[in-house]
Structure 1
Amino acid sequence: MLHNLLQPARLTAVVDVGANPIDGEPPYKAMLQRRLCTVVGFEPQDEALAELNARKSDLESYYHYVVGNGHKAKLRLCRLPGMTSLLVPDQNVLSHFAKFTEWGSVVSEHPVQTRRLDDILEIRDLDFLKIDVQGSELAVFGSGRQKLKQAVAVETEVSFLCLYKEQPTFGDIDGELRKQGFVPHAFTAVKQRMIAPLSDPSNPHAAMNQLLEADIVYVRNFMRSADMTVEQLMHLAMIAHHCYRSFDLAANCVHHLIARKAIPDRSIHDYMASVQVSGR
């Protein structure tokens, strides 16, 4: 319904850096199923890349690239694949949480040449960046300032306690994304853990209050809508609606598109009616 109302010039362009499917379905799954987006993904771990390529659709392309600051580096494969990183796990920090010392043990190291986001030719458009690179997020944002000028949404992992040496904190990432014109929109997951020596032997993921990491969505500053193009407003509406059920943000974009005469005046009524009827 929303796509028919807006009629953007092209499909929403998703870039997924660290596309390993280990953490479940990506936020853009609903858009992909409806053939409303394309995906260009990057995954340096061989098994994860093979899995992505085995089940991809014609709208998806995946590459064996390590995205970073463009320098040579070492990819550190950890016992838990989800902790593989360009950074060195901080064993002191890991020791304060059950199982993390084991999960974060490095089983092999491989020299790699990282690629700057701005230099990757396979990325023609970028509306939505989803990133999970275990501590290298800030390097990716810094190497992608030109391409990110087009983007309207970023979903990234942030750390409150740094599991890796020299890992940027939530504050570092927040500052960089704000400088690039984004504002926080929503937490999609908040990860907490129980501090050692207290633990639950039956559940290594047991938590009390201690914050560890979170997945957070940033969006192009909707309070400065004049800074966005018509196409950016359309793609922000699509992402807000389909990926996060943020119907208020989508409606805000529709409102501004009407004000610019980009879509008919009744579009806001049609959109709100569709949300109330379908609930999605």
Structure 2
Amino acid sequence: MARTWTDLLSPERLTAVVDIGANPIDGDPPYVDMLRAGLCTVTGFEPQPEALQLLLDAAGPNERYLPHAVGDGGEHELRVTWMNGMTSLLEPDVARLSTLNEFARYGEVLSRTSLATTRLDDITDLGPMDLLKIDVQGSELPVFQNGRTTLAGAVAVHTEMSFAPLYEGQPLFGEVDAELRAQGFVLHTFATLKKWPIAPAVIDGYIFTNHQQVIEADVAYVKDFGRLEELTAEQLKHLALLAHHVYASPDLAVRCLAQLVADGAVDDAVVPAYAEAIGRSVTLDGVRSDR
């Protein structure tokens, strides 16, 4: 029986996912298919007690969830808002929110509490991390800045990015992009793109249609695929698996597989096996690997 491409990859361990801000309010995380298939482990962080309990109640054997608030290591004020998904360490920008339909109500602060944060680089029992998924409502940049040592081993970052400031002093796309690029990551794809109607217009009686203003996106960054020779074989294997299972990116997966073959880390049958698995033809420098 022919070996599958994952058999040929034979990574030393399951792909390791770290989820900062694991609150399940936004539905399934991007890695859910890998988790359900038993292909990854998840270490999640969620400081809100009710959200943490939901995660603990539903956790499977490859999941663990911790109550830490990951940040810059300082003490901050947590603003709990009317819409749970806008709860943040940053103060909602009332003037800016008022320019978007309904957002002023969503960002209304209902309560405030002191919250101690922990630097990502100070979490000693974290274990390996291949994919960092993060959604902390405007506080992503301090996490990246205080997690550079840990992020050096990661091959992908899945982060929420803001293009319009919803909070006071919120770092926007340009600042966060510059930090991730400085750490050796490149933007791979926009997993989701959120547009919102500009207030006060209601077009044809529908408040949430007929709009083009981009406010946020979930963005996937990967280690620079122009420098894959700098990655270890294990990193390349997990990047290939993430490219395939999380981002439906066969081109990136094949580039990782080709590098592994060039490095002598896996059998050269892995590319034809991958082509067969996805039911496509794959060509490398004019050599075709048929399905």
TM-score of the pair, normalised by structure 2: 0.92
Q: Which runs of 5+ in 2 are unaligned?
A: 281-291
Runs of 4+ in 1 over 6 A off after TM superposition: none
Residue equivalent to 2:194: 191
Equivalents in 1 of 2:204, 2:62: separation in Å? Answer: 43
String of CA shifts for 1:28-62, please: whole Å, max 9, x gaps.
Answer: 11111111110000011111111111111011000
Equivalents in 2 of 1:201, 1:144: separation in Å? Answer: 47
Equivalents in 1 of 2:207, 2:133: separation in Å? Answer: 27
Do residues 245 (structure 1) and 248 (structure 2) align?
A: yes
Equivalents in 2 of 1:205, 1:213: separation in Å? Answer: 16
TM-score of the pair, normalised by structure 1: 0.96
Q: Which runs of 5+ in 1 are unaligned?
A: none
Partner of 2:253, secondary structure, is: helix
Asked if structure 1 preserves the Cα contact closer than 8 Å seen for 2:25 and 2:85, the reply is yes
Equivalents in 1 of 2:117, 2:206: separation in Å? Answer: 36
Residue equivalent to 2:68: 65
Q: CA deviation at 1:122?
A: 3.0
- Percent identity between the two aligned chains: 49
Equivalents in 1 of 2:69, 2:97: separation in Å? Answer: 24
String of CA shifts for 1:144-182, please: whole Å, max 9, x gaps.
Answer: 000000000001011111100000010001000000000
Residue equivalent to 1:121: 124
Residue equivalent to 1:224: 227
Equivalents in 1 of 2:20, 2:205: separation in Å? Answer: 33
Asked if structure 2 preserves the Cα contact closer than 8 Å seen for 1:40 and 1:122, the reply is no
Asked if structure 2 preserves the Cα contact closer than 8 Å seen for 1:14 and 1:37, the reply is yes
Note the aligned Cα RMSD (angstroms).
1.3
Residue equivalent to 1:37: 40
Query: Who wins on radius of gyration, i.e. which is larger?
Result: 2
Do residues 166 (structure 1) and 169 (structure 2) align?
A: yes
Which is further off, 197-206 or 18-27? Answer: 197-206
Asked if structure 2 preserves the Cα contact closer than 8 Å seen for 1:2 and 1:238, the reply is no
Partner of 2:237, secondary structure, is: helix
Asked if structure 2 preserves the Cα contact closer than 8 Å seen for 1:161 and 1:212, the reply is yes
Structure with the bigger percentage of helix: 1
Count of residues in correspondence between the two structures: 277
